[in-house]
Structure 1
Amino acid sequence: MLENIRENSQGMIAKVILGLVMLTFAFAGIGSYTNSVDTSVAQVNDVKISQADFEKAYQNQRNRMAQQFGDMFDTLSADANYMANFRKGVLDNLINEKLIDIAADDLALRVSDERIKTTIREMEEFQVDGKFDNNRYLALINQAGFYQSSDFRDYLRVEMTRRQLNQALLASEFSLPYQEKQLTALQNQKRDIRFASISAEQFKADVEVTDQDINEYYQNNQTRFQNQEKIKVNYIALSVDDIAEKVEITQADLEQYYQQNIAKYQQKEQKRFSHILVEIGDDEAAAKQKISDVLAKANAGDDFAMLAKEFSADTFSGENGGDLEWIEPGVMEEAFDEAAFALTEVGNISDVVETEFGFHIIKLTEVKAEHVKAFSDVKDEIELVVSKQKAEDKFFELQQEMARLSFEFPDSLEDAADAVGLEVKTSEWLSRFGNIAPFDNAKVIDVAFSDLVVKERLNSDIIEVNDSLAVVLRANEYQAENIKPLAEISEQIKSMLIAEKATQKAQNVAQELLNAFNTGTDITEQLASVNASFEVKTDVARYGAELDSNIVTESFKLPHPKSGNKSATTVTMSNGDIALVELQAVKEGESSVSPNFSQQQTQQLAQSAYKSFVDVLREQAKITQRELVVSAE
């Protein structure tokens, strides 16, 4: 039936019906429905955070976590409590951002258009050979989801405004020398301890775990034993790079491109200038007289560089003899530009020029004549460009053919693959997150787990991963999300319960020993009965000690020992054993401060101040939150 629907959907009647449906929505107004329903997940004062914004932030954070932690994150994401906290953390971050935006607006913080433009031009991501490249800029922001350059500028403006407030808070913090010495002394402090480790293993033989215990644990912790939804897909991938390797290019193609794009290889005349600036200040006449006197000296043959060092208010260029390096038209003010580029001979000096900065005299110091790169010098470069252009043209043609055939023959990829010269490949098992390219792309994964692919077992529509890669896929093998059967994990649960109960028995024994120890009883024999004895460790450092980290942490929490009073506790070690720990002595550390410590301490204080600032904003704001729902889960 589905095949019939697909075939009939190409008919004129179907298209007319589809058109009428679209017109119905257009005139009735889809917005009248969506606008009547509040789909926001939170509201900060009068600003709403939409479900779409939350979904985007949530998926971005999941992707980052999956890439960073791999399979470990798959395990964590099976825990419902963990994911609930994860979603809450994403929403809290969005709320904090809105609070910062509101505070920045209240403080009238702004980022000018010129600052935005300069920042974009200086970003290394958008540069080719050290220069801003507009084509690269547009390609990268489109790839990132900004289909209008104004969208990216707006995004950058928000981020830079937030950074203004952030940096203002961070820059206001400092640490005092005595605080740094105190903290350094604490960090360098060492302690003498003794501890006895009581192994939980010895109690396992006496632990009884019933079938009922196992079943109850299984019922109460099913999310821990959940198999994630997975799929293997067959796919074909059409790539511009692969096509470019097979494209045939003639000498005539290269020469034609060179002639049609000669301007790209033409280096226009360049000019280098020096100048002397006199600021107008409160007395314009005096400034005008001063620059006239300097001009007279320059025209009389005085060294222009020495005059610039002596008289120029532009101290930066003045120290370099007034040198402004190579200047392109349009960089300086219009009056400056006109006067500078009117100079034709090296050594020419302009008349006095007035700009908003003051009065200038300008000297032309060097000229590079116009130059056109020879075809032989740029042939290799042109070959790459032409091959890519031809490959892109071929890519578009083959992409249309691949889309048509994979739709007309939805039960196999072979027809489409043969027509465009591709091989049908099979992926590894794919999950919702943490896959390798091209399956790390959200669009590809959404289609891979769509009903069309999973349930209907048909070819997907063509997926444009980016401007140079398109794929079509179909299901090879699918594994639905499910809970592992009890029989499969019964022994695993039994081992976990035995370990937990054994650790609890060890904890009970350790607590009894601690109680006796605190009363002054010699517990040597009692320790021996559980195969333990005290081990002494001197000069234990707070960081980097060759001991179980939990023992070290508890050792530095214990109060200083006093005459007649024990300073001891029990602690669960990383391996599940229990340690009885006694603090015997505290040795004060050196208080000498390293050169970088002050900066590190200031950064920590600044981060704390920023958090406190956000906490205050949260307390003062009216924040409402709704139940979080994630459509991808």
Structure 2
Amino acid sequence: MLQTIREKLTGWFDIFILGAIALTLVISFGNIDTGFSGGAVAASVNGEEIAVREFRQLYQRQRQQWEASYRTQMPEVLAAEMGNSVIQSLVRNRVVAQYVRDEGYRINDDDVIASITGLEAFKVGGRFSKPAYEQLLQSQGLNRQRFEYEQRQSMQMSQFAEGLANTAFYTPAEFRRYIELDGESRDLEYVVLNAADWSKDVVVSEDEIQQYYDANPLSYQSEESVSLVYVEIDYASIVNNVAMGDEEAQSYFDKNPDEFRGPDERHARHILVPFSEDEAAAAELAESLRQRLLAGESFTELAAQYSADSGTAGSGGDLGWLGSGDAPAGEFEDALFVLAENEISPSIRTEYGFHLIRLDGLREGDVLDFAKVKAQLLTRLRDDAAADVYGELLDELDELALESLDGLAPVAEAMGLELGQIDSFTRSGGLPLGYSPLLVDTVFSFEVLEDGENSPVIDLDEGRAVVVQVTEYRPAAVKPFAAVRDEILARITGDEAVLRAADSGNQLVVKLNAGGNPDALLKPLALAWNRPEGVRRGSPDIAADLAAEVFRAPRPEMLEGGDMGKGYQGLLLASGDYAVFRVVAVHPGQPELYTQEDRDLRKGQLASRLGGGQATAVVEALVAESDVRVTPGLIGNQSDLF
């Protein structure tokens, strides 16, 4: 089956992909259970092991993504929580994988092929490229069998989730209610008390500033930092200086004609014997026909008499010229592509019946014209040459940096490269090198920081690498009071202003709900009411947290006899300002105003929402029923994992 997939994943014959792909495309595969565990065990699920290697790979990838996003090292508490999350994710995936396998979920080869060939990471010029596919898998440490296995299993798990979504049940009344909520709008009146308006009345003494500074030393600590020098190898600058002429391209083209040739085609004939009601009898008939063919009887006559393929029986079973992917079934193609000319295959079973196949001819694919491929070929050859130079320079840089006892200056001089310098590099990185977990870990490692050694080569990103040398280390220290006094003053003033604005807002809410005149109460504040109508969920016209609270507020008709008076409420916004608001009217969504297309879309959304809840419940139930064992000490405290 996997052989069928590999043969079908041929694609068109691109000639410009090999040089640049590895340096320009990055793909990442999810944490699908692969079935290829080995080494130490992180956990077991119903007796099936999850390798520590699998756990570490996913954990490290997620941690690196977090640290790259926030440009700082992950706190240990959060790192432990992430470890818990990763192992739980791996366990749940394994549980679902076991379930879909045991329940007989199936994905056919054609669907797997369509999924893989549709992935953008494997496309060059908008079309699937088999060399790009193989090269990218190799760069990720995967082989085709493993990735195809993963892809099939991922699709099976998606089939399981989609099946629950598609079977989610809801009544017409529930759908109408969903539409009413989806299309609901509200009229309101609100006012925002800007905290900054209260800051001018805040008076902060020098003693208060000093006390705050003394009580919060860690808040005003300088970052641990270093000064460093570095030598960089940049692929982009190399490729720009590589010269490649038409002669080199023509020479390569002439020496490697098969790279610029289309797929071979095979002229085939077949006789199809259908299963009918007795498969054994069909197999026996197919074998008897094969023996007659081997004895010399006419293929065309037997095809006309016995073949169930009405489209070809009249022409002696002639299928014409077939390329890769053109055969009626994968098993058929596998058999055809190993036949010698005029050879007759054994009986081949497919979903249609039993086939007897004869190869009548073989022709090579057409060769591309050099003029059509020259530009792409020049690019590829230049990229290949640059990649070779890049690799050689990295090896040289690594060796010279290791051998140099006088820092990086002699290394830069020997290689004819610039010695770069960064005055302040912290655990959040520093320009122009930027941030990466590997870079930060290396700079602040014992060998580089304490022993003053030159670092090994550090990959920053695709096509860019450096070695570094720390020239000065500055530990974290509390900043002098004078340097942070104004910052503390602004902090105390801002916090007090927020409290005063909120206090004024709370008093306003009390007076409004007691029956005070809304406009009159705002006059002393020099503010006016905003009275928008028809506000929808997620409206960009008001603050997001205020919009969310507006739709959580009770309807006006629910306030009668309650303890909310006129229905005014207060909300401290994320900005530090304070909002006072009241819902004036609620307008339910009207199903009759929705087009059929909109209704179908909302039905899908509702089914997906209900199905998602069902899927979560099913997975949790499967986990609860499974024998899950996590290796002690893997991620610290695991008592609440499962």
Given candidates 312, 326, 345, the residue that maps to 2:323 is 326
**Superposed counterparts of 1:106-117, under 5 Å:** 108=101
CA distance in structure 1 between the partners assigned to 2:623 and 2:213 by the alignment: 40
Query: Which residue is 2:587 aligned to?
Result: 587
Query: Which residue is 1:572 aligned to?
Result: 572
CA distance in structure 2 between the partners assigned to 1:425 and 1:405 by the alignment: 17
Query: Which residue is 1:609 aligned to?
Result: 614
In structure 2, do the counterparts of structure 1 residues 616 and 360 end up closer, same or farther at CA, with 3 Å as the change threshold? closer
Deviation at 1:570, TM superposition (A): 1.3
In structure 2, do the counterparts of structure 1 residues 181 and 487 end up closer, same or farther at CA, with 3 Å as the change threshold? farther
- Does 2:600 match 1:599? no
SS in 1 for 2:188: strand
Given candidates 498, 503, 521, the residue that maps to 1:503 is 498
CA distance in structure 2 between the partners assigned to 1:490 and 1:42 by the alignment: 53
SS in 2 for 1:536: coil
Task: Write the letter of the residue equivalent to 2:454.
Answer: N
Deviation at 1:98, TM superposition (A): 1.5
Check the 8 A contact 1:214/1:494 in 2, yes or no. Answer: yes
Check the 8 A contact 1:239/1:470 in 2, yes or no. Answer: yes
In structure 2, do the counterparts of structure 1 residues 113 and 310 end up closer, same or farther at CA, with 3 Å as the change threshold? closer
SS in 1 for 2:580: strand
Task: Write the letter of the residue equivalent to 2:77.
Answer: A
- Does 2:424 match 1:423? no
CA distance in structure 2 between the partners assigned to 1:121 and 1:359 by the alignment: 29
**Superposed counterparts of 1:460-471, under 5 Å:** 460-463=455-458, 471=466
SS in 2 for 1:580: strand
- Does 2:546 match 1:541? no
CA distance in structure 1 between the partners assigned to 2:395 and 2:129 by the alignment: 34
Query: Which residue is 1:168 aligned to?
Result: 160
**Superposed counterparts of 1:44-83, under 5 Å:** 56-65=57-66, 68=69, 73-74=70-71
**Superposed counterparts of 1:216-615, under 5 Å:** 224-225=219-220, 227-231=222-226, 233-238=228-233, 261=256, 263-265=258-260, 270-273=265-268, 277-283=272-278, 299=301, 308-309=310-311, 325-327=322-324, 332-333=331-332, 336-337=335-336, 342-343=341-342, 355=349, 357=351, 358-360=353-355, 368-369=363-364, 398-426=393-421, 432=427, 442-463=437-458, 471-475=466-470, 480-522=475-517, 525-544=520-539, 546-562=541-557, 563=560, 566-592=566-592, 593=594, 594=598, 595-615=600-620
Q: Report sequence identity in percent.
A: 20
In structure 2, do the counterparts of structure 1 residues 572 and 343 end up closer, same or farther at CA, with 3 Å as the change threshold? same
Deviates more, 1:579-588 or 1:54-63: 54-63
Deviation at 1:413, TM superposition (A): 2.8
Task: Write the letter of the residue equivalent to 1:602.
Answer: A
Check the 8 A contact 1:195/1:534 in 2, yes or no. Answer: yes
In structure 2, do the counterparts of structure 1 residues 370 and 210 end up closer, same or farther at CA, with 3 Å as the change threshold? closer
Check the 8 A contact 2:106/2:156 in 1, yes or no. Answer: no
Unmatched tracts of structure 2, length 5 or more: 1-39, 290-296
Task: Write the letter of the residue equivalent to 1:571.
Answer: L
Check the 8 A contact 2:509/2:580 in 1, yes or no. Answer: yes
SS in 2 for 1:172: helix
In structure 2, do the counterparts of structure 1 residues 113 and 86 end up closer, same or farther at CA, with 3 Å as the change threshold? same
Aligned pair count?
564
Task: Write the letter of the residue equivalent to 2:310.
Answer: A
Task: Write the letter of the residue equivalent to 1:500.
Answer: D
In structure 2, do the counterparts of structure 1 residues 222 and 85 end up closer, same or farther at CA, with 3 Å as the change threshold? farther
Deviation at 1:185, TM superposition (A): 0.9
- Does 2:136 match 1:140? yes
Check the 8 A contact 1:271/1:327 in 2, yes or no. Answer: no
Task: Write the letter of the residue equivalent to 2:95.
Answer: I
Unmatched tracts of structure 1, length 5 or more: 1-38, 313-317, 345-349
In structure 2, do the counterparts of structure 1 residues 355 and 263 end up closer, same or farther at CA, with 3 Å as the change threshold? same
Give per-residue Cα distances to partners, 1:458-512, cap 9 Å, x unaligned. Answer: 3223446799765433235655445544443333233233232232233333333
SS in 2 for 1:596: helix
CA distance in structure 2 between the partners assigned to 1:240 and 1:439 by the alignment: 17
How large is the Cα RMSD of the aligned pairs?
5.4
Check the 8 A contact 2:68/2:436 in 1, yes or no. Answer: no
Give per-residue Cα distances to partners, 1:154-194, cap 9 Å, x unaligned. Answer: 57745753553353033212353543321121122222222
Task: Write the letter of the residue equivalent to 1:237.
Answer: E
Check the 8 A contact 2:422/2:430 in 1, yes or no. Answer: no
CA distance in structure 2 between the partners assigned to 1:618 and 1:211 by the alignment: 60
In structure 2, do the counterparts of structure 1 residues 451 and 514 end up closer, same or farther at CA, with 3 Å as the change threshold? same
Check the 8 A contact 2:268/2:320 in 1, yes or no. Answer: yes
In structure 2, do the counterparts of structure 1 residues 503 and 121 end up closer, same or farther at CA, with 3 Å as the change threshold? closer
Check the 8 A contact 1:524/1:533 in 2, yes or no. Answer: yes
Task: Write the letter of the residue equivalent to 2:552.
Answer: K
TM-score by length of 1: 0.68
Deviation at 1:571, TM superposition (A): 1.5
Give per-residue Cα distances to partners, 1:317-350, cap 9 Å, x unaligned. Answer: x9xx967842499964499528975359xxxxx8
Query: Which residue is 1:193 aligned to?
Result: 188
TM-score by length of 2: 0.68
